[in-house]
Amino acid sequence: MLANLSIHFPVLQVVVPLMAAPACLLLRQRGLAWGFAVLAMLVAFAISVALLYQVIAGGAISYALGGWEAPWGIEYRVDLLNAPLLMLVSGISAIALLAARTSIENEIPADRHTMFYIAWLLCTAGLLGILSTGDAFNVFVFLEISSLSAYTLIALGKDRRALWASYQYLIAGTIGATFILIGIGLMYVMTGTLNMADLAQRLPEVSSSRTVFTAFAFFMVGVCLKLALFPLHLWLPNAYAFAPSVVTAFLAATATKVAVYVLLRFVFSVFGYEFSFSHLPLQEILLVLGLLGIFAASIVAIYQTNLKRLLAYSSVAQIGYLILGISFANETGVMATLLHMLNHGLMKGALFLSLAAVVYRLGIAQLDQMHGLASRMPWTMAAFLIGGLSLIGVPLTVGFVSKWYLVSAALENGWWPVAALILIGSLLSVIYIWKIIEVAYFKPVSATTPDVQEAPLGLLLPMWMLVLANLYFGINTELTVGVSQLAAASLFGGAP
Amino acid sequence: MSEFGLFNYWVVMLLMMIGFYIVIAQGNLVKKLIGLTLFQTSVFIMYISLGKIEGATAPILIEGVTLYSNPLPHVLILTAIVVGIATTALGLALVVRIKESYGTVEEDEIHAKDESC
Amino acid sequence: MTILTTYISWTFLVLGGFLCISGAVGLLRFPDFFTRMHAASVTDTLATALIILGLLLQTDAWMVQVKLVMVLVFVLLTSPTASHALAKAALHGGLKPQLKIARGSNKAGQQSEAEA
Amino acid sequence: MNMETVINMVLLSLLVVTAIAIVRIKDLFAAAMLAGIYGLLSASFFVMMDAVDVAFTEASVGAGISTLLMLTTLAMTGRFEKISGNYRPRLALVLVALTGALLIYGTLDMPAFGTAAAPVHEHVAPRYLNDSYAEIGIPNAVTSVLASYRGFDTFGEVVVIFTAGIGVLALLMRAEKPTPRTQTPTASMHEHMVLRIVAKMLIPLILLFGLYVQFHGEYGPGGGFQAGVIFASAFFLYSMLFGLSEARKVVNHVVVQILAALGVLLYGSVGIVSLMNGKNFLDYSALSADAVHGQHLGILAIELGVGITVTTVMIIIFFAFSGRNQIEGEKD
Amino acid sequence: MFTVAAAAVLVAMILALARAFAGPTLYDRILAVNVFGTKTVLLIAIVGFLMGRPEFLDIVMVYALMNFITVIGILRFFEYAAESESADETIKER
């Protein structure tokens, strides 16, 4: 039975959380719903691990939904590029969901917990669907599933500003999605197909047409709105700052990564390296925006006193690094981007979960209330410390590995100044992380610090799972680096 | 209908841009959402125009007709309309809650209230 | 189809079209709300009935005929009802100036005076 | 120039005029109504473009549901837009002009409107028109593509609607409250006897029509989504005329929520059943020994799932909005 | 002959739309919307015959239905808004 099922893993990966969501509504009891959701996510995670090994062993898997072959039906396609991301998304979602039960106790009214878990499952399923699909329009549909549920999750935040943040995200996200829809429509006009592999074959014939150029432009702007690239990032800080803490951990670790994946997929697989980088000044645009993003966001982050907001700006900066890797337009650069997507997911997950613990005890993650917090919540702050070191890029953490490859990709192009700028950017992150560490570890406990205990195990365990993953993948880089290398090679090797 | 040429598309683009303008230029949250539906509906019109073949008929097969318009854009837009109403409903629900907790649905007043606290 | 039914159907269609336009002109040109309402709702119902009857005579397919009759019944039920509800609501709104709706109907009053 | 072209041009011009009027008008009630007209006009345009199914949906959604929802919201948030000077429409205008210029630029290489030889009509689409009848056995090619060839998109669509229902519920849900007994449910409709009598006649008709649309989708325009909206609209009518608390008595909200979930699950389980029978997810030919018959069964089942979810989610959304509205009203 | 009817209905639609823009009261607009909706119903019915496929009259039913429900909805929620607005005002006046 299991062997039989294994050929259906690409679709089960998405369908398990998707169908678990309405099933949760039937359970009508928040504890049960939580247990069921966790179970579904663990199954999804197991499937994603199995898929990754299937892909490593046997190459890309194509799955024809409804039994209709590719350009007529919708195809699911799992390859080296998306398999590790499937694992990241389902893994982080499962771990954050484990923490959710404890964390949302104080943040969300009890009667909304079931809705919260349902929206969570839907959001995960949407993200997984975007990753695995091989059909351009299907990307749009699942993008909307994940976005709509993300708006809901964010709006459930305690502060009223969560509502406003969610509304702004809704407007920005819908404009982005509509732009993507226009882009897909224009691609379809010129090729008559919606399947990505088919598009990749048929686009080169018409690549000199103005319509394809416009399609590319609209698609890119739409995706960049979704992934919060520097000048289009305005929705992100508020959304992350006011969302329930676990939601921030989940979205920061996964949602923007998935958008970066869509960018990579379309730039390299669908439009092709040739079109994206030879016909268009994409390289220069991405380079400038990436660098601007890193510096502007890091500098703003330094001045923040709300830690969730601080890390949100840091996320915008990290997206700059991801885009920078793409802008190098060489194999090492793309590999660094892929690696950093995984690694950044792990470290932001860990960081935001430790903040969730802080919020759980303190009610808010404000810098001036954290004097000497490390003595009160040693495990939580230790997790934060390791996550922070990883964010800076200290050796033996995942952050170091991806920074290393990013710098070497810059050097490969002979771009010394860019490599230097990356290092300076890391220094900026040292500043804002140090600011927190200093307060939590070296300031004496003051009157403003509430008298609190260590966070409960329900939060500590998931948090430390991610922290250990940060360390493990920082030391044993075989899997992540190996897969990223292969995936980057496949992107440059031609068809997906 | 070939007199249309590309003119048809240009009108649709104009419609899209009017909707887009409402979304980004207006300060009232409900008005923004109205603009958003306008924007989306106009994109739907673009898709449907793409599927039209001159002299063809609706893609519901009957005997004696061989030329049908393209059904695929219709299918895509059916899905997109549903996505559109889902977004509108959620957006309006947010507006209702914003009105309840801020007491206003004007963008600048909300900004002012956020800064003051 | 016989010549006679064709002629009858054409007459219905043309008459219906004429009523449509005259009703709409009334809607646009008449001085105040209630006269506009009168012009619109009376012709609306009749024109719809005429045009649908005209179409009914044009087809032999019974399914189409049934659907047309359904549409006719539906419109004949809803159109006057909607007008009635509207008129009542307007009257109600206009008669109680302490309600905010009064703002609208005052304007209408001023407008009609100005036009007269 | 034939009549069709004239109608197209008039409809397009009316769309433009309506859109501009919406930009300028400050009365949001009027703007919402004009948005309804915009939906109606675009639906008419879809009919001219041979997209009857889309016209069906747009008429019920664009002109119906979304207008109603906007009006409910406006009843709570206030009728007039604030006129303020500190917006910078010029910046927005520049941005919009740039985007528009890029779009126009993009159309320049597009095949002219209505060309049969355009690439859109060549690669994938012909198969749907030529083979769908043999492969699926129903005349409505749109339903074939929607429910079978691209059935997974439609699954996504149902989930989107479900997500919206969950979102609205999570945002607007109130803890169980005692229903106010003192307030007569009719207070706001001012004893509209005529309306109520007519509505009582209409509602069975509407429900019957919904059933017809639900099961006729394979042969003509219609299907689960449209039927769902029509069903829901009967409940809207009831709740608007007889009061929300009366309507809540007719449809219990727990049952409605369970049905919404069951609709999605029904759709999904059709896919699971095909998995169990050794075919791919949503491959309906696995449902019966005869492949075409299986497709038929599958489409019937998933359309039912769509219909159930759409009806119930629309009811959930509408009741959630009007529930807020009523409470707002009672405060006064 | 369908052409004549269609043209007449189109003209009526334009005039109704003009009234919907002009107002001046909301009731005028509602009236115009109602008339506009009925005319659209007629237009689509005629277009079905004009294009030779009159079997799609189901759409016409939906148009008529939605038109009715929208008008009822507008009246209903307008009354709500008016009531709560006037209530706001009386509170302010106090």
CA distance B26 to B11: 22
Query: Residue A476's pLDDT is what?
Result: 85
User: How close, in Å, is residue B47 to chain A by CA atoms?
Assistant: 7
Q: Domain total for chain D?
A: 2
Please tell me the distance from the alpha carbon of residue B68 to that of residue B55, in angstroms, as a whole number. 8
Question: What is the least distance, in Å, from the CA of D52 to any CA of chain A?
Answer: 20
In a domain, A269, yes or no: no
Q: How many residues are recorded in chain C?
A: 116
- A468: nearest Cα among A381, A341, A383, A356: A383
**pLDDT at residue A214 above 80?**
yes
Contact A77, A197 (CB under 8 A): yes
pLDDT at D187: 45
User: Cα separation of C93 and C100, whole Å?
Assistant: 8
Q: Are A276 and A215 in contact (CB under 8 A)?
A: no
Supply the pLDDT for residue B82. 93
CATH architecture of the region B2-116: Orthogonal Bundle (1.10)
Residues D103 and D7 in one domain: yes
Q: Are A125 and A18 in contact (CB under 8 A)?
A: yes
Residue A391 inside a domain? The answer is yes
Residues D235 and D102 placed together within one structural domain of the fold: no
Contacts of A113 (CB under 8 A, 6+ apart): A30, A33, A34, A104
CA terminus-to-terminus distance, chain B: 60
Q: Are E35 and C30 within 8 A, CB to CB?
A: no
User: Cβ of E30 and D27 within 8 Å?
Assistant: no
Does chain C touch chain E (at least 3 C-beta pairs within 8 Å)? yes
Tell me whether chains B and A touch (3+ CB pairs under 8 A).
yes
Six-digit token pair at E9?
A: 């209905």
Give the pLDDT band of residue C107 (cuts 50, 70, 90): very low
Tell me the chain B residues in contact with residue A185 when contact means C-beta distances shorter than 8 Å: 43, 46-47, 50
Three-state SS at A479: helix
Give the pLDDT confidence score for residue C95 in this predicted structure.
38
- Whether A167 contacts chain D with CB within 8 A: no
DSSP, res A66: G
Number of structural domains in chain A = 2
Q: Classify residue A158 by its DSSP letter.
A: S
Tell me the nearest-neighbour CA distance from D273 into chain A, angstroms: 12
Q: Which residue of D has its CA nearest to C91?
A: D190
Which residues pair with residue B57 across a beta bridge?
B68
Q: Smallest Cα–Cα separation from E21: which of E6, E3, E2, E36?
A: E36
Residue A76, helix vs strand vs coil = strand
- Cα within 13 Å of Cα(A243), Cβ side: 31
Interface test with C, best of E21, E28, E63, E74 (most C CBs within 10 A): E28
pLDDT value of position E82: 62
Residue with tokens 């697989």: A269
Q: Among residues D93, D121, D149, which one ends one of the domains?
A: D121
- State the Cα–Cα distance between residues A264 and A219, nearest whole angstrom: 12
> What number of CA atoms fall less than 13 Å from residue E56's CA on the CB side?
35
Q: Please indicate if any CB of chain D lies within 8 Å of the CB of A192.
A: yes
Q: d(Cα A217, Cα A223) in Å, to the nearest integer?
A: 10
pLDDT at res. C98: 33
CA angle in degrees (0–180, nearest 5) for B95-B99-B100? 120
The whole-number average pLDDT for the span C60-85 is: 86
At C100 the pLDDT is 41
- Cβ–Cβ of E73/D67 closer than 8 Å? yes
What average pLDDT score do residues A327-347 get? 90
Check residue E85 and give its pLDDT.
Answer: 52
Higher local confidence (pLDDT), D232 or E53: D232
User: Reduced to 3 states, what is the DSSP secondary structure of residue C44?
Assistant: helix
Asked if E2 has any chain B CB less than 8 Å from its own CB, the reply is no
Token pair 């015959």: residue: E49
- Give residues 6 to 65 of B whose Cβ lies within 8 Å of A: 16, 20, 23-24, 29, 32, 36, 39-40, 43, 46-47, 50
Show residues of chain B in contact with D306, CB under 8 Å: none
Tell me the residues of chain D between 126 and 165 that have a Cβ less than 8 Å away from chain B: 128-129, 132-133, 139-142, 144-146, 150, 153-154, 156-157, 160-161, 163-164
- Spell out which residues of chain C touch residue E58, defining contact as CB-CB under 8 Å: 67
The CA distance from D138 to A116, in Å, is 40
The pLDDT value recorded for residue D85 is 52
| Res D86: pLDDT | 52
Q: Where are the domains of chain B?
A: 2-116
Give the other-Cβ count within 10 Å of C56's Cβ: 18
Separation between Cα atoms, residue C95 and residue C100, nearest integer Å: 11
Q: For A235-283, how does the pLDDT look when each residue is reduced to its tens digit (9 = 90+)?
A: 899 999 999 999 999 999 999 999 999 999 998 888 888 888 877 788 8
Q: How far apart are CA A361 and CA A103, in angstroms?
A: 10
* Binary contact (C71, E39; C-beta < 8 A): no
CB A294 within 8 A of CB A317: yes
Split at pLDDT 50, 70, 90, the class of D201 is confident
Interchain CB contact of E25 with C (< 8 Å): yes
Closest Cα in chain E, distance from residue D44 (Å): 7
Please compute, for residue A491, the number of CA atoms within 13 A of its CA located in the half-sphere on the CB side.
30
Q: For residues A21 and A40, what is the distance between their CA atoms, to the nearest angstrom?
A: 9
Task: Please state the length of chain A.
Answer: 496
At A422-452, the pLDDT tens digits run 999 889 999 999 988 888 888 887 776 677 7
User: Which chain A residue lies closest to B50 (C-alpha atoms)?
Assistant: A189
CA angle, D251 then D254 then D255, to 5°: 60
Distances (CA, A) of E13 to A210, C47, D52, D55, D156: 38, 13, 21, 18, 37
pLDDT digits (tens, 9 = 90+) for B83-116: 999 999 999 999 999 998 888 888 888 888 887 7
**Residue A270 belongs to a domain:** no
Q: Which chains does chain D touch, 3 or more C-beta pairs < 8 A?
A: A, B, C, E
Query: What is the pLDDT confidence band of residue A1, given thresholds at 50, 70 and 90?
Result: low
Residues of chain D in contact with residue A37, where contact means CB-CB under 8 angstroms, are none
What phi and psi, each to the nearest 5 degrees, are found at residue A330? Answer: -125, 170
Mean pLDDT over the full length of chain A: 89
Report which DSSP code applies to E51. T
Per-residue pLDDT of chain E (94 residues; tens, 9 = 90+): 788 888 888 999 999 999 888 877 888 888 888 889 889 999 999 888 888 887 788 888 889 899 889 888 888 877 766 655 554 444 443 3
Chosen for mutation from D44, D201, D315 (greatest number of chain E CBs closer than 10 Å) is: D44
Does residue D307 carry a pLDDT above 90?
yes
Please judge whether B59 and D140 are an interchain contact, meaning their C-beta atoms are less than 8 angstroms apart: yes
Question: Would you say residue D328 has pLDDT above 60?
Answer: no
CB-defined contacts C:D, below 8 A: 19
Nearest to B105 by CA among D28, E82, D326: D28
Residues on chain D touching B43 (C-beta within 8 angstroms): none
pLDDT of residue C113: 37
Contacts of A255 (CB under 8 A, 6+ apart): A127, A146, A150
Whether residue E56 and residue B58 make contact (CB cut-off 8 A), yes or no, is yes
> pLDDT digit string (tens) for A116-164?
999 999 999 999 999 999 999 999 999 999 999 999 999 998 888 999 9
Give the Cα separation of C95 and C101 in Å (integer): 10
The 10s digit of each residue's pLDDT in A154-188 is: 999 888 899 999 999 999 999 999 999 999 999 99
Is the Cβ of D16 closer than 8 Å to some Cβ of chain E? no
Q: Which of A30, A108, A115 to mutate to test the interface with D (most CBs of D within 10 A)?
A: A115
Q: Which chain D residues are closer than 8 Å to E87 by Cβ?
A: 332
Say whether A62 sits in a helix, a strand or coil: strand
ipTM (interface predicted TM): 0.91
Residues of chain D in contact with residue B17, where contact means CB-CB under 8 angstroms, are 96-97, 99-100, 103
pLDDT score recorded for residue A366: 83
Question: Predicted confidence band at D88 (pLDDT cuts at 50, 70, 90)?
Answer: low
User: Could you give the CA distance from residue B97 to residue A161 in angstroms, rounded to a whole number?
Assistant: 11
Write out the residue range of the structural domain in which residue E81 sits: 2-93
- Contact call for D3 and E3, based on CB within 8 A: yes
Higher pLDDT, D153 or C97: D153
Task: Specify the DSSP element, H or E, that contains D302.
Answer: helix D291-331
Q: Do A148 and B94 touch (CB under 8 A)?
A: no
* pLDDT at D140 exceeding the cut of 90: no
Encoding tokens for residue A9? 């893993």
**What pLDDT is stored for residue C88 in this prediction?**
80
Q: Which distant-in-sequence residues (6+ apart) come within 8 Å of C23 by Cβ?
A: C39, C40, C42, C43, C44, C47, E12, E35
List, as one string, the DSSP characters of A82-147.
THHHHHHHHHHHHHHHHHHHHHTTTTS-GGGHHHHHHHHHHHHHHHHHHHHB-BHHHHHHHHHHHH
Could you give the CA distance from residue A26 to residue A14 in angstroms, rounded to a whole number?
20
CA distance B46 to A95: 43
Structural domain range at position D96: 1-121
| Inter-chain touch A152–D265, beta carbons under 8 Å | no
Rounded CA separation A177/D65 (Å): 22
Residue contact B38–D145, C-beta within 8 A: no
* Within a domain: A200: yes
Residues A249 and A352 sit within 8 Å (Cβ to Cβ): yes
Q: Does residue A377 carry a pLDDT above 50?
A: yes
Chain C hits for D202, CB-CB cut-off 8 Å, are 74, 77-78
Chain C positions in Cβ-Cβ contact with residue E39 (cut-off 8 Å): 20, 24
Residues 191-250 of D with CB under 8 A from B: 219-221, 225
Whole-number Å distance between alpha carbons of E59 and A333: 55
Instruction: Please tell me the pTM assigned to this model.
Output: 0.92
Query: What is the arithmetic mean of pLDDT over D308-319?
Result: 93
Is cis: bond before D180, omega within 30 of 0?
Answer: no
In terms of domains, do A214 and A308 share one?
no
- Give the separation between CA D162 and CA B15, rounded to whole angstroms: 30
Residues of chain E contacting B62 with CB distance shorter than 8 Å: 53
* Per-residue model confidence (pLDDT) at position A20: 93
Contact call for residues A319 and A228 (beta carbons, < 8 A): yes
Nearest to D82 among B4, B8, B106 (CB): B106
The reply to whether residue B57 touches residue E56, judged by beta carbons under 8 angstroms, is no
Distance CA D74, CA D36 (A): 14
Please indicate whether, in this complex, the C-beta atoms of D198 and C81 are within 8 angstroms of each other.
yes
Report the Cα D61 to chain-centroid distance in Å. Answer: 4
The domain tally of chain E equals: 1
Domain of residue A477: give its range. 281-496
Given an 8 Å threshold on Cβ–Cβ distance, is E63 in contact with D74? no
Note whether A246 and A351 are within 8 A (CB): no
**Contact with chain B for residue E26, Cβ under 8 A:** no
Question: Tell me, what's the pLDDT at E87?
Answer: 47
With a cut of 80, say whether residue C50 has pLDDT above it.
Answer: yes
Tell me the residue type at B83.
V
In this structure, are strands A61-64 and A75-78 parallel, antiparallel, or unpaired?
Answer: antiparallel
Q: Are residues D245 and D286 part of one domain?
A: yes
Q: Give the angle A484-A489-A495 at the CA atoms, nearest 5°.
A: 120
D73: nearest CB among B42, B77, B95: B95
Higher pLDDT, C114 or B49: B49
Task: Examine residue A274 and state whether it is found in any structural domain, yes or no.
Answer: no
Lowest mean pLDDT among A190-204, A279-293, D115-129: D115-129
Q: Give the separation between CA A224 and CA A235, rounded to whole angstroms.
A: 12
Question: D237 and D249 in contact (C-beta within 8 Å)?
Answer: no
Contact D201, C77 (CB under 8 A): yes
Give the nearest chain D residue to A217 (CA atoms): D102
Rounded-to-integer distance, Cα A105 and Cα A112, Å: 11
Residue A122 contacts D where some CB pair is shorter than 8 Å: yes
Calculate the alpha carbon distances from D249 to D173, D179, D245 in Å: 17, 11, 6
How far is C-alpha A350 from the geometric centre of its chain's CA atoms? 13
The SS3 assignment for B68 reads strand
Q: Based on the domain organization, do A341 and A254 belong to the same domain?
A: no
- The answer on pLDDT for C115 being more than 70 is no
Q: Which of A228, A259, A290 is the last residue of a domain?
A: A259
Lowest mean per-residue pLDDT among A73-87, A239-253, B46-60, D224-238: B46-60
Q: Residue D65 above 70 pLDDT?
A: yes
> Does residue B63 contact residue B49 with C-beta atoms inside 8 Å?
no
Mean of pLDDT values over A61-82: 88
CA-based nearest distance D278→chain A, Å: 8
Indicate whether D10 pLDDT > 80. Answer: yes
Band of residue D84 on the pLDDT scale cut at 50, 70, 90:
low
What is the per-residue pLDDT across D247-259, written as a single tens digit (0 to 9) for each?
Answer: 888 888 889 999 9
Report CA-CA distances (Å) from E72 to C84, D73, D241, E28: 11, 16, 8, 15
